[in-house]
Amino acid sequence: LAIALGGNAVMPIANQILPAFLQDQDWRKRHSALMTLAQIAEGCMKVMSKAISWTVDICVTGLRDPHAKVRWAACQTVGQLSTDLGPDFQEQEHARIVPTLLSAMDDVNEPRVQAHATAAVVNFSEDCEEDILAPYLDALVSKLLVLLQSPRNIVREG
């Protein structure tokens, strides 16, 4: 739908609705807001590329949410935005996104979040220059080695 209508039609509506959903006490509304952002990204690339900081604010908040399903949705959104808004997304916001994803990879009580954070790092890395990733490589490789030793298949195969 976002591809058919375009960002100029979709984003004003999203900007009206999403903030209230993101602040709601019901985790399902926060989850749906993040998933909506991920789903409309491809059709709204031009408009969203002018608001990368706003989208990252939403993702970082979601990655720190108390509910695991919201954190999972935030990982999904980061992965999608990395693909749809890259490489500007990576260049402008790596300092906020990568450390937050690395923290999500430590979420040992929620293996699905760990696995999806790892997948989001893969998406983020695909459209990323070496010099942007270089400062994070030691921490990233260390976390990946730990995850590869996990007894949980979902984490190892993420």
Count of structural domains, the chain: 1
Enclosing domain of residue 24: 2-157
Per-residue pLDDT reduced to its tens digit, 79-105:
999 999 999 999 999 999 999 999 999
Per-residue pLDDT reduced to its tens digit, 42-83:
888 888 899 899 999 999 999 999 999 999 999 999 999 999
CATH number of the domain within which 50 lies:
1.25.10.10
Helices (H), 67-136: 68-84, 88-104, 111-126, 130-133
CA dihedral 32, 34, 37, 42 (to 10 degrees): -110
